[in-house]
Structure 1
Amino acid sequence: MQMRRSLSAYLALCRWLDRAALAACVAAGLFLVGAVLAIVVLRYGFGLGFIQLQDAAGYAFAVLMVLSLPVTLARGGHVRVEVISERLPAAYLRAADAVALVLFLVPVFGLMIRAFWPDLSYAWSIREGSVETGGLPGLYLVKTALPLAAILMILQGVAQVLGRRAAE
């Protein structure tokens, strides 16, 4: 009973994190569209350019791209490499997903977190900003999205496997 409650709480947490990531993706996407439109109109219509707006568009694009990975995984939108999977039984697909989680998803995204951590720590220690003169500060916050997305990928992958088991 306690295990069932813990599993239910974990799955609820993963659903909440998915909704938060989706909201961040929607906000970043909408901001990106508006920023690029403003950049184009200002540049070609008025001959003006704003480095800060260009940086903001780049930051929004980066956040949109990395957070769209766990959002896509949570919705089952990932690409399967198996050519014959549509003819195989559901039990095989569940087992293949569990094996892929253990052998690929968790190690790859765990390695990504481990490999990126020193760069992220340094970026936070110097409060890294834009490489452009007069650009936006806060690049270290954008860089935080990559390990955050990796953590979300691991959590969503585990939730996918456990959620299917709980449904059985």
Structure 2
Amino acid sequence: MSSLVTFGRCTIKLIDTLNEQIGRGTSWLTLILVIVSVTVVILRYCFNIGSIAAQESISYMHALIFMLGTAYTLKHNAHVRVDIFYHRFNEKTQGWVDFLGTLFLLIPVCLFIIVSSWDYVADSWAIQESSRNSGGLPAVYLLKSTIIVMAGLLLLQAISLAIKSLFSALGISLNTAS
């Protein structure tokens, strides 16, 4: 039992560290997004200079912020929740609710996203899809690939959450051997 607990703790630490680093790195895209957006507006309305690539880069960054920040947000328990009963439950019951919700809702949704988007992304890679607009950004297939990356990172974070929740439900500490 103690080796399983140790394995669980190591798995949690590895996944949480990965998503923490990706989330922190992705957060810098928000600043870059604002700078590029302001630059595009100034160039367009003050100097009558337009750039389709710059405009598309705003959409790319916006998508990346959400796609790569999803698992980070789950790690920090910051996703929107409708909490009618949950806050009244004790820690063990909350652990069971989180574990079962993760096991039967979140993990299947992540797997569904991966499976259902696989051909969509593969087709984009097969034709090396680029922007439909002249002067737009190439490599749309890379952006579409973030759908699978998002679901994969979210799936990993769901595994971490499931282990944490199961530990909580069973009264196993995350920090010390119990």
TM-score scaled to structure 1, two decimals?
0.92
Q: Corresponding residue for 1:112?
A: 113
Q: Establish whether residue 98 from structure 1 lines up as the match of residue 99 from structure 2.
A: yes
Q: Corresponding residue for 2:75?
A: 74
Task: Give per-residue Cα distances to partners, 1:113-144, cap 9 Å, x unaligned.
Answer: 10000010111122211121111111111111
Cα offset, 1:31, TM superposition: 1.6
Gaps of 5+ in 1: none
Moved over 3 A (4+): none
Cα offset, 1:32, TM superposition: 0.9
Which residue identity is paired with 1:11? I
Distance of 1:130 and 1:80 partners within structure 2 = 36
Cα offset, 1:6, TM superposition: 2.4
Q: Establish whether residue 3 from structure 1 lines up as the match of residue 15 from structure 2.
A: no
State whether residues 99 and 163 of structure 2, in contact with CA within 8 Å, keep that contact through their aligned partners in structure 1: no
Distance of 2:12 and 2:57 partners within structure 1 = 33
State whether residues 121 and 145 of structure 2, in contact with CA within 8 Å, keep that contact through their aligned partners in structure 1: yes
Q: Corresponding residue for 2:34?
A: 33
RMSD: 1.6
Q: Which moved more, 1:122-131 or 1:77-86?
A: 77-86
Percent identity (aligned): 26
Q: Which moved more, 1:9-18 or 1:62-71?
A: 9-18
Q: How many pairs align?
A: 168
Gaps of 5+ in 2: none
Task: Give per-residue Cα distances to partners, 1:13-42, cap 9 Å, x unaligned.
Answer: 212221232134213212211110111100
